[in-house]
Each structure stands twice: as structure tokens, then as C-alpha cells.
Amino acid sequence: MSVAAFPPPRLVDPFGRPITYLRVSVTDRCDFRCVYCMSEDMHFLPKKDLLSLEELDRVCSAFVARGTRKIRITGGEPLVRRDIMKLFRSLSRHLASGALNELTLTTNGSQLALRAGAADCGVRRVNVSLDTLDPAKFRQVTRWGDLSKVLAGVDAAQAAGLKIKINAVALAGFNDDEFERLVEWAHGRAADITFIEVMPLGEIDGQRVDQYLPLSAVKTQLARRFTLEDVDETTGGPARYMRVAQSGGRVGFITPLTHNFCESCNRVRLTCTGTLFMCLGREDAADLRAPLRATCDDTALHAAIEAAVARKPKGHDFVIDRSTSLPAVARHMSVTGG
């Protein structure tokens, strides 16, 4: 591919927000069927529609050249993608050069015991999705999951030197009696924990209005047990953090519905098929696969990226409404990247 004589300009959206964070879905497939994320009977993309690992690397590298400082690998479940460690190893060259600050991973933890070697490929932090510490409830919410495998994966990752953060979706009537326990468990392992409001993406079996719990209620519940202190800290994503005085650990809150985080959005999302979504809560997207495959020269790819970022909206309009059974956005989270 061609290399420009001068570095291309950094990406800035129409509202003056620099694009420094790329989330990359490497597969829409997952070995769980979480009830708030997927239907049990999912139809996944044929492998021929997916970008190859080399193509994923090329797009990521184009973004790094335009000022992206953080890349998060997601899915589906990214660790079920064949040879995914090759992508980590390849992208780690941008860490070595100083062009990239961080290469991270979000996983359900099912394959983490087998893939803790990601620590040797430049990954230093891993987000593990874990909504309950009750094995029966874990099986219920994931449909197919085995909690013991996830906990073993967390052990293996920490033993390998990976820093762990726990992500827990707050679900009314399901895990609302476990929030304090989850915080204590995470902080007891020197891990941060972030609570997330359920997002209205994709049709599921059931109603999200019955699952939805505003994080203001979660924060109120935690404040009865812990002393929560405001902190001016960030990991570069949408979470707003507080510190628990009793443990010294952090609790994050991601609130796409009760208080959206759009004003400081620095993110775009690449799907495993090469579609770029400028906003998680909007349907507008750009095709990067066509210019990527049209030529080995990156000129058209950069032009497509520039045009896409120029359309990035100011914010999303997520809402969960009992009057309609339709999701706010038709695509499932596993397609866009969790």
C-alpha cells in the first residue's frame, strides 16, 4: 500500500471532537446468547463477508495514521475468531512505535483462560462482561454460559499480568440484588467495575422495558453501602467514575439513556464486514470494505474515512418505550461491536 509523503491530517468531527478511539468488531459470532443482546436463534454472517485479519489491520492502521490512540477489539465474542492473536501481534507494532497508546479487548471471558497470552501481544487491559456471580443466574442470562469458565479466565488473565475491568449490565429484577456483591468481588481482585444501562439495539426474545434499570437507582443503592467519591478520571471511554472509599476501587457508570455521553464522544465503530458506524445509536454508516478492496493504495480508504467522520452526528436518541416492541436501532449489539 502507498505511504503518503506527509502524515494525513487528524480526524475531527463536525463538532470539533477529535476521533481518537476506534472500536473494532472482529466477528458477529458469540458462544453466549445473552438475553439483552441476542435472540437465542441467531443467524450469523458467512465467513466470506468478513474482513480478513490483514484487512482489519490495514483499516486500523489507517486510523492510527489519522490520530487514533486507542483501539478496542470487540465482537460478538472476539476470542472465538480464528487466529485472532495474529491481529493483536500485528497491531502491537503501533504500540512499539508510540503511534498507539493502548490496544484493549472486550470479552465474555469464556475463552480467556486459553487466550491470556494476549498480554504478550500488547494487550494490557481487558474488559470482561459479567452480570452475576450466581452460576444458575449466569446460565439464565447467557443461555449457554458456564460461570466457572469465565472466573477461571479472569484468574488466568490476571496471572498473566492483564488488568481486568468488569462490565455489568444492570437488569431490573435480575441482578439488582447483586450490585454491592459485584463491587466487593471486583475490588477484592483489584479490578474496576462499570455498570451499564441496557441498550435498545436489535430484536430480542422479550421486552427491554422490562429489563431497563436507570443507573441513578444503582448509584443510590450502592451509596447505602459504600461511600462514593467523585473522581476526575477516565479510561478514554464513556464511563463516568466514582471511587469507593472503603476499597479504594473505582465504579463506573455508562448511561446511554438517562444521561447520554455524546458531548465528549471520541469514538467510531468498525464492524467485521468493514462498515463504519459513526454513532452507536444511529443507522448512518459508511462502507470501508469497497475502497479497501478496490486497490492496495490507501487513498480511497482515507477519503472514505474522512467523508464518514464528516457525517458524525452530535448525539444519539436512545429511548426505551413500552408503547412499541421495536428496538431503537434494528441491528444487534453483536453486529456493531459490544
137-158 average pLDDT score: 96
Say what percent of the chain tops pLDDT 70.
Answer: 86
Which of the listed CATH numbers 3.40.50.720, 3.20.20.70, 3.90.226.10, 3.40.50.300 matches domain 21-336?
3.20.20.70
Query: What's the confidence (pLDDT) of residue 327?
Result: 44
Query: What's the confidence (pLDDT) of residue 320?
Result: 45
Query: What's the confidence (pLDDT) of residue 212?
Result: 86
Spatial distance between the Cα atoms of 181 and 170, rounded to a whole number of angstroms: 13
- Give me 304's grid cell: 472514505
Amino acid at 235: T
DSSP character at residue 120 = G
Higher pLDDT, residue 7 or 123:
123
47-54 average pLDDT score: 93
Query: What's the confidence (pLDDT) of residue 257?
Result: 58
146-171 average pLDDT score: 96
Residue 260: which pLDDT band, with cuts at 50, 70 and 90?
A: low
Q: Is the pLDDT of residue 12 over 60?
A: yes
Identify the CA nearest to 254 among candidates 168, 164, 190, 173: 168
53-61 average pLDDT score: 98
Angle at alpha carbon of residue 199, lines to 196 and 203, rounded to 5°: 145
Q: Is the pLDDT of residue 326 over 80?
A: no
Query: What's the confidence (pLDDT) of residue 282?
Result: 81
Query: What's the confidence (pLDDT) of residue 235?
Result: 73
Query: What's the confidence (pLDDT) of residue 178?
Result: 97
Spatial distance between the Cα atoms of 333 and 338, rounded to a whole number of angstroms: 6
Q: Is the pLDDT of residue 112 over 70?
A: yes
CB 108 within 8 A of CB 129: yes
Q: Is the dihedral of CA 93, 274, 43, 321 positive or negative?
A: positive
Q: Is the pLDDT of residue 110 over 90?
A: yes
For the chain, the C-alpha Rg in angstroms (whole number) is 19
DSSP character at residue 111 = T
What confidence tens digit (pLDDT) does each residue in 63-72 have? Answer: 999 999 999 9
Picking from 189-198, 304-313, 324-333, which range would have the lowest pLDDT averaged per residue? 324-333
Q: Which residues are CB-contacts of 174 (< 8 A; sequence separation ≥ 6)?
A: 131, 132, 137, 141, 211
